[in-house]
Amino acid sequence: MAVLKENYDIVVVGAGHAGCEAALAAARLGLETIVFTISIDSIAMMPCNPNIGGSSKGHLVRELDALGGEMGKNIDKTFIQSKMLNKSKGPAVHSLRAQADKQRYTYEMRKTLENTAHLTVRQAEVSEIMVDNGKIVGVKTISGAQYFAKAVVLTTGVYLRSRCIYGDVSNYTGPNGLKSADLLTDSLIKNGIEIMRFKTGTPARVDKRSIDFTKMEEQFGDERIVPFSFTTDPDSVQRKQVSCWLTYTNEKTHQIIRDNIDRSPLFSGAIEGTGPRYCPSIEDKVVKFADKDRHQVFIEPEGEYTNEMYLGGMSSSLPEDVQYEMYRSVAGLENVVITRNAYAIEYDCFNPRQLKPTLEFKKIDGLFSGGQSNGSSGYEEAAVQGLIAGINAALKVLGRQQLILDRSSAYIGVLIDDLVTKENKEPYRMMTSRAEYRLLLRQDNADLRLTEIGYNVGLIDQERYDKLILKKEQIKGEIQRLENTTVGANPEIQNFLELHNSTPLKSGSTLIELIKRPELSYELIEAIDRNRPKLSADVCEQVNIEIKYEGYIKRQLQQVEQFKKLEKKKLSVDFDYSQVKGLRKEAIQKLDMYKPMSIGQASRISGVSPADISVLLIYLEQNKNKLQ
């Protein structure tokens, strides 16, 4: 029987948030790309929370956008509420979050994929990878069709051998009842890939008409909306917003959960996968934080044209009847009607220490992996990995140098470095505390940090690049001007200072010095800054931040300098550590397991001591040619 055979440059397996970014990046770099999905109607589906962004996740989306990814643009087209979180805190932790219209999000992303040159969208289940002599050559689908490619990107999300569970009900499906992919795992295991089993969960969706909103607090969006994408004109997104609602669980809710805890598959042991600590199910919260008398529940719309509402904070895998009882004990949900049950989902994923920081498997040349299947969690974490995996697959096919963002240049770098260097026992979520140089990695300067990189890769066009260069020059020029502009201790200035509760001047001062005072800012001193040029709001923002936090920023820059020295010392993944005399046994085992790409990465592996690093450095010097 004849089988279908086709040739592509790049195959992407899965069209979720990671797969869409990978496929778009590869196709936009001019490579013939095919993306497989189990259901074309579910491209970029949001099976859990109906929002994009949030603390540190917002950073990821801004960074992705600065590099030329799609998620930021897509949420700008489809959000129904937007909020800048942590606005009262420092600029480093401001983070954007937008409620999405889920249907429109999917629809817009599908439209973008379908209209991108060099990109084919194909509905089929991939069942095997084809490997020849340690090199990927393509994939097979369940029909036996063969798709040959120079590189393959796995973005399988939570679909590998997935199982959805609530109470004693257990369905072998992906999220939302979509088909799971049950065959690919075996092929991957056969090719030496180590599989882990992770778990996550989602709350119930309910009918808006059955909710009593008068018992809840209304949560509005921001008055002035900041778009996610640096390319979106802020004026174009000042649209009407939909509200979310806040209510709380109570002692009765907790009692219902405690009374039925033995019926939870998580506690009875029916679920084996490791779940994330940061989005615990409500039963987890009640058990672990027994002293809390209530937990927040956010009621979020799933879209503008549906009555379905998401019960944020109450994910669960309790049986259907208990779900009803516990939801109905919450103020405002007394008569709630469930449209979809809460459930837990278990799935296969890959131990990410098998990957290089480029997201290519160390063992299989040309096979890349990005997204939740690398043991992460969240749409944003998935998307950025998809983008990097897609870019690197394309660069590899083009014979160009791989892209690695280090920990000092992006949250994306922190995320990937953590995944490939540290032991991950639960789905990994981005957090601002994981970024040691977070004062430098702000969401407001993602373009200044990364757009040039995106331009060099080929995903940013000339016009956008020119704008960036202009912006950089304006920021630099304006800071210089402020440095060179002096004001005297004259009555006008003293009055101004008095007005703002600021100490009067004893002698002349530069404007920079005034901006640095806690009670003043670039914006405030406009009144005494006669020759101020007209600059855009985002340039002004950068000028203010760079001046006000200069001391902190400088300190972090010094730390980065130290950090980079070790990152620059490269190690080969083929290196045999057992031949290095003086390394401790534990260090040899760990180094062998992780096969780090640099001394810096090696130093972050737990079980490798500073003394081991000294030994490695010396060995490196001694055998310069062997290792580098």
Task: Kindly state the smallest distance separating residue 494's Cβ from another protein, in Å.
Answer: 22
Distance CA 84, CA 31 (A): 37
Least spacing, CB of residue 439 vs another protein, in Å: 7
Decide whether 119 or 286 has the Cβ nearer to another protein: 286
Residue 435 CB coordination number (10 Å): 22
621 binds another protein (CB under 8 A): yes
In the complex, least distance from residue 321 CB atom to another protein, rounded to whole angstroms: 24
Residue 249 within binding range of another protein, rule CB under 8 A: no
CB of 553 to another protein, least distance (A): 11
Taking Cα atoms as reference points, which of 377, 335, 419, 58 lies closest to residue 198?
377
Task: Say whether 18 sits in a helix, a strand or coil.
Answer: helix
The answer to the question of residue 183 lying near another protein (CB under 8 A) is: no
Query: Contact at 8 Å (CB) between 348 and 185?
Result: yes
- Minimum CB separation of residue 135 from another protein in Å reads 36
Length of the chain: 628
Which of 324-358 are b and which e, b meaning 16 or more Cβ less than 10 Å from the residue's Cβ?
bbbbbbbbbbeebebbebbbbbbbbbbbbbbbbbb
Among the listed ranges 157-165, 167-175, 324-332, 618-626, the one in contact with another protein (CB under 8 A) is 618-626
Amino acid at 589: Q
Q: How many other C-beta atoms can be found within 10 angstroms of the C-beta atom of residue 504?
A: 11
Question: Under the criterion CB under 8 A, does residue 617 sit at the interface with another protein?
Answer: yes
Is residue 179 within the footprint of another protein (CB under 8 A)?
Answer: no
Give the Cα separation of 73 and 322 in Å (integer).
40
Spatial strand order of the sheet with 308-312 comes to: 217-219, 244-248, 296-301, 308-312, 205-207, 338-340
Distance CA 93, CA 441 (A): 9
Closer by beta carbon to another protein, 299 or else 453: 299
Q: 618 by DSSP, 3-state: which?
A: helix
State which residue, 477 or 607, has the beta carbon closest to another protein: 607
Total number of residues binding another protein (CB under 8 A)?
51
| Integer angstrom CA distances of residue 64 from 19, 58, 326 | 14, 10, 39
- 49 makes contact with another protein (CB under 8 A): yes
Is residue 278 close enough to count as binding another protein by CB under 8 A?
A: yes
The footprint of another protein on residues 583-612 (CB under 8 A) is 606, 609-611
Best CA proximity match to 582, nearest among 605, 613, 624: 613
CB distance 311 to 203 below 8 Å: yes
Stretch that binds another protein, among 13-21, 86-94, 124-132, 496-504 (CB under 8 A): 86-94
Q: How many Å apart are CA 493 and CA 490, to the nearest integer?
A: 6
468 near another protein, judged by CB under 8 A:
no
Dihedral sign from CA coordinates of 37, 47, 413, 347: negative
Q: Is 340 one of the binding residues for another protein (CB under 8 A)?
A: no
What string marks each residue from 300 to 329 as x (binds another protein by CB under 8 A) or -? ------------xx-x--------------
Question: Which tokens in the block code for residue 367?
Answer: 């096979």
Q: Which two tokens stand for residue 149?
A: 């490619």
Stretch that binds another protein, among 81-89, 130-138, 221-229, 247-255 (CB under 8 A): 81-89
Candidates 504, 565, 579, 626; binder of another protein (CB under 8 A) is 565
**With respect to another protein, which residue has the nearer C-beta, 202 or 354?**
202
Task: State in angstroms the smallest separation of the CB of 197 from another protein.
Answer: 20
Q: Does 292 bind another protein (CB under 8 A)?
A: yes
> How far apart are alpha carbons 37 and 159 in whole angstroms?
10
Extended beta strands in 10-94, E state: 10-13, 33-37, 51-53, 79-85
Residues 6+ apart with CB under 8 A from 408: 437, 440, 441, 560, 563, 564
Q: Give the nearer residue to another protein in terms of CB position, either 131 or 271.
A: 271
Question: Nearer to another protein by C-beta: 24 or 613?
Answer: 613
Specify the residue, 113 or 613, whose C-beta has the smaller distance to another protein: 613
Q: Is residue 484 within the footprint of another protein (CB under 8 A)? A: no
The nearer residue to another protein, 459 or 580, going by C-beta atoms, is: 580
Q: For another protein, which is the closer residue by CB, 238 or 623? A: 623
CA distances, 299 to each of 45, 53, 243, 317, 380 (Å): 20, 17, 9, 19, 21
Nearer to another protein, 213 or 552 (CB): 552
* Site string (497-536) toward another protein, x via CB under 8 A: ---------------------xx-----------------
**SS3 breakdown of the chain: % helix, strand, coil, rounded to 5?**
40, 20, 40
CA distance 330 to 283: 14
Which of 405, 399, 407, 466 is closest to 435 using CA atoms?
Answer: 407
Of the candidate spans 363-371, 392-400, 431-439, 507-515, the one that interacts with another protein by CB under 8 A turns out to be 431-439
- Contact segment (CB under 8 A) with another protein among 153-161, 187-195, 205-213, 275-283 equals 275-283
Beta-strand ranges (E) seen in 87-219 are: 95-100, 119-123, 126-132, 135-141, 146-148, 151-154, 163-166, 169-171, 195-202, 205-207, 217-219
Among 480, 552, 578, 628, binds another protein (CB under 8 A): 552
For the chain, what is the total number of helices (H) and then of strands (E)? 21, 24
Q: Which of 422, 481, 532, 570 binds another protein (CB under 8 A)?
A: 422
**Closer CB to another protein, residue 16 or residue 201?**
201
Q: Which of 10, 15, 71, 85 is the binder for another protein (CB under 8 A)?
A: 85
The one segment of 142-150, 434-442, 456-464, 492-500 that binds another protein by CB under 8 A:
434-442
Stretch that binds another protein, among 122-130, 276-284, 448-456, 533-541 (CB under 8 A): 276-284
Q: Does 90 bind another protein (CB under 8 A)?
A: yes
Which member of 86, 123, 173, 210 binds another protein (CB under 8 A)? 86
Query: Whole-angstrom Cα distance, residue 212 to residue 332?
Result: 4
Which one of 39, 433, 486, 572 is in contact with another protein (CB under 8 A)?
433
Q: Which of 172, 213, 220, 289 binds another protein (CB under 8 A)?
A: 289
- Regarding 431 and contact with another protein (CB under 8 A), the answer is yes
Count Cβ atoms within 10 A of the Cβ of residue 625 and give its class: 0-12 exposed, 13-18 middle, 19 or more buried.
Answer: exposed
Q: Is 473 helix (H, G, I), strand (E, B) or coil?
A: helix
Per CB under 8 A, 93 contacts another protein = yes
Instruction: Using the minimum distance from each CB to another protein, give the nearer residue, 266 or 468.
Output: 266
Residue 73: which H helix or E strand, with range? helix 71-78
List interacting residues with another protein (CB under 8 A). 49, 55-56, 85-86, 88-90, 92-93, 276-280, 285, 288-289, 292, 295-296, 298, 312-313, 315, 422, 431-434, 438-439, 518-519, 552, 562, 565-566, 581-582, 606, 609-611, 614-615, 617-619, 621-622
